[in-house]
Structure 1
């Protein structure tokens, strides 16, 4: 991608020079740029943009484009920042999903990437586990948590949202006693202050009475007095009106499948049987290949996302990848090989090899001199090296 920018370039540059926090003149009235976190390579691109209005991203890794966007934001180069943000969303969705946690925290720490925020939140609203069940959940910026729980379409039970909000709030105050019964008035006040932006976004009156009693009442001291009074009243008389604001219930997506009578009776697949499909249907993102002249099916699961942007190729680390073999149309003879060396589980091959090598699971990958895996016999499956079992 090569882009030209002129419309706001001079305006952005003058704003940079007028920023006394980042640019201080010396005795010769020369202004020094104080941005120690920006690499020399990225700064070189920034300079070419400032003086020439051109940014060339041909043959650069996606991570470089992302870091360039962060740097452009630091330099208050709004036009370049917006262009790169749009470029990542439109062209690098696979990479964004692979490094979702990193990206999510970075954009909310800067708090200036609204398009990426919306893009990420749209994904999380449908798949909350991406963030809420992540091991780094407690380090989530407050602004990110608030932006999520304010959404009406967050696909999570309200009592579960409450659990995560409390968990996050307590983690921000490690000195709080682990036993709630030992909490003082000051302890509850500390948690209330930490969660002051989150608590108004909980849909209390859409939580079952049992869960209100079991989960909310224990923390009633962090709630406003009127809200606490209304919740207690709601427990006793749910039909009686309350004074507190009642937020609408979150909208849950219901997927309707056609009845069996509406499904045409056609062959399920020319490669795998319905029994095989039932076995691997929950694996979500997988590669399947049939061994010529046999009924054997080989495949692999990639929990990340394939990324074709690496100029020199790159090994991806994951402990969740696996390869499999479904033999002779019988599930009983199936083989599953899990990762032994997580650092070498998945290979995103270099640009120069992408016409020949397909999905690459180290011990198993697709290869063709003709860019067509059905035209030769070069596909590769090794004796177990990275995975635990032979296929």
Structure 2
């Protein structure tokens, strides 16, 4: 039998770190604006990364070695040091983005145990945040080789491939990420569309290629073939309709190996004759499950952290509600990707609902905009009318590369919102003063960048420098007081 006293051991090592007695290492972080003191023996035995670093650094005249990690924030390195000395990482009351950044730094510093624990924590406890920041997450995990997160994301992509293939930064996807998707037998996308996306990605990696395919020479096709050599083997050529092969693949046949193209042509003419090329199985078609309501994510755009922030603004609190103390629930009224993006749908769905929050994800950026209306939307007016309230506000939420949320309360309360007549509802959605509104002359908010933000002074603060935009999705929630 062994008696273990890890708690006291951890406490004593944390005290050693705090006392800074006999330190012989200084770690400078955050562009050398902050420094930490540590002990070389502790660092070397707890971290193979720091062992290698210390072996290559000469001490100064006081026998002190200095390690410079300018790109690491002081807040994150403080957590890392407490993990090194005490084996403790406190994740209470920290934002999910901080946990994600901590995981990246732990991986960089080769703390495999900590990295794996944080990766698992994000998947099991922060799935909604990962989905909200999907494109950002997906691009970074392949650079850093997070296998569990790769599987988590790819399991989503195979069901909803447009999340990546239709994203504005698809062509910047790492090759390893694209290959991992192409390998999946359950990717729910027509094979010829997969081919189109692969060609699009390959051409974008070579911006000097002629824009017009008729101008391509032998070297141009060789360049594209070389770029896509790891991707092409995962295309299921023998399951592509003949018309698509002639229309889409034949123009690029020079990037395929000659035996493959010969077999493909033979297969079109006589599919029963054997070929030498490997015929991959057709991708499986998933039978869609009907999810129960309690399994559906409450939002495709925002997280519980965002709800805490918005409800604090509604109650005019000076600090943000903790996640356990949010006194409201967000009840979904409308989701564009579910109910449609026509402006008229907004008025039909939201008529009569008060205390409503409008949320939208901007296409091509990380921006999330929104507005709050404490009054009931009215779709039965005979003429356009200004609506007065002192409690409406508009906002931009922190998300991805946007680190700070911005709240802008109504300034001209007599013109806080505008309700529209039937004819205007065909092209216009919600209007917050003349500053912020959703519009679509083509009856689809995702097209043509007709939505607009302009700082005309109806609301207090500038929430973005973006003027015209279209959206990826939008949602309207009714804010309901929880029954305790």
TM-score (norm 1): 0.68
Give the alignment's Cα RMSD to 1 decimal.
4.2
Counterpart in the other structure of 1:204: 237
Are the aligned partners of 2:43 and 2:51 in contact in 1 as well (CA < 8 Å)? no
Counterpart in the other structure of 1:25: 57
- Asked if residue 153 in structure 1 is aligned to residue 210 in structure 2, the reply is no
Any idea what SS the aligned residue of 2:276 has?
A: coil
CA distance in 2, matches of 1:209, 1:140: 30
Q: CA deviation at 1:386?
A: 5.5
Choose the corresponding residue for 1:302, options 350, 355, 359.
359
**What pairs with 1:313-324 in structure 2 (closer than 5 Å)?**
317-318=367-368
Structure 2 residues without counterparts, runs of 5 or longer: 1-6, 11-41, 291-332, 386-392, 399-406, 411-429, 439-475, 477-484
CA distance in 1, matches of 2:434, 2:110: 49
Structure 1 pair 50–242 and aligned structure 2 pair: CA distance change class (3 A): same
Counterpart in the other structure of 2:339: 282
Structure 1 pair 344–115 and aligned structure 2 pair: CA distance change class (3 A): farther
Counterpart in the other structure of 1:193: 226
Counterpart in the other structure of 2:118: 84
Q: CA deviation at 1:35?
A: 3.4
Q: CA deviation at 1:239?
A: 2.5
CA distance in 2, matches of 1:86, 1:56: 15
Structure 1 pair 175–230 and aligned structure 2 pair: CA distance change class (3 A): same
Any idea what SS the aligned residue of 1:215 has?
A: helix
Choose the corresponding residue for 2:71, options 37, 52, 68.
37
CA distance in 1, matches of 2:225, 2:336: 47
Q: CA deviation at 1:326?
A: 6.7
Counterpart in the other structure of 2:470: none
CA distance in 2, matches of 1:180, 1:60: 52
Choose the corresponding residue for 2:433, options 380, 384, 391.
384
Are the aligned partners of 1:149 and 1:201 in contact in 2 as well (CA < 8 Å)? yes
Counterpart in the other structure of 1:99: 133
Q: CA deviation at 1:23?
A: 6.5
CA distance in 2, matches of 1:35, 1:169: 35
Choose the corresponding residue for 1:61, options 95, 99, 123.
95
Give CA-to-partner distance per residue, 1:44-66, whole Å, 9 cap, x none. Answer: 11111111111112221111111
Counterpart in the other structure of 1:134: 167
CA distance in 2, matches of 1:10, 1:248: 51
**What pairs with 1:158-237 in structure 2 (closer than 5 Å)?**
158-237=191-270
CA distance in 2, matches of 1:198, 1:132: 15
Are the aligned partners of 1:153 and 1:251 in contact in 2 as well (CA < 8 Å)? yes
Are the aligned partners of 1:169 and 1:195 in contact in 2 as well (CA < 8 Å)? yes
Are the aligned partners of 1:345 and 1:386 in contact in 2 as well (CA < 8 Å)? no
Structure 1 pair 255–123 and aligned structure 2 pair: CA distance change class (3 A): closer
Are the aligned partners of 1:346 and 1:362 in contact in 2 as well (CA < 8 Å)? no
CA distance in 1, matches of 2:372, 2:237: 42
CA distance in 2, matches of 1:333, 1:239: 69
CA distance in 1, matches of 2:334, 2:70: 53
Counterpart in the other structure of 1:272: none
- Asked if residue 13 in structure 1 is aligned to residue 70 in structure 2, the reply is no
Q: CA deviation at 1:187?
A: 1.2
Choose the corresponding residue for 2:147, options 114, 136, 140.
114
Structure 1 pair 321–145 and aligned structure 2 pair: CA distance change class (3 A): farther
TM-score (norm 2): 0.56
Q: CA deviation at 1:120?
A: 0.8
Structure 1 residues without counterparts, runs of 5 or longer: 258-275, 305-315, 336-342, 349-359, 364-380
Q: CA deviation at 1:32?
A: 4.3
Give every structure 1 segment of 4 or more consecutive aligned residues whose post-TM-superposition deviation is greater than 4 Å.
Answer: 9-12, 27-32, 276-281, 298-301, 319-328, 330-335, 343-348, 360-363
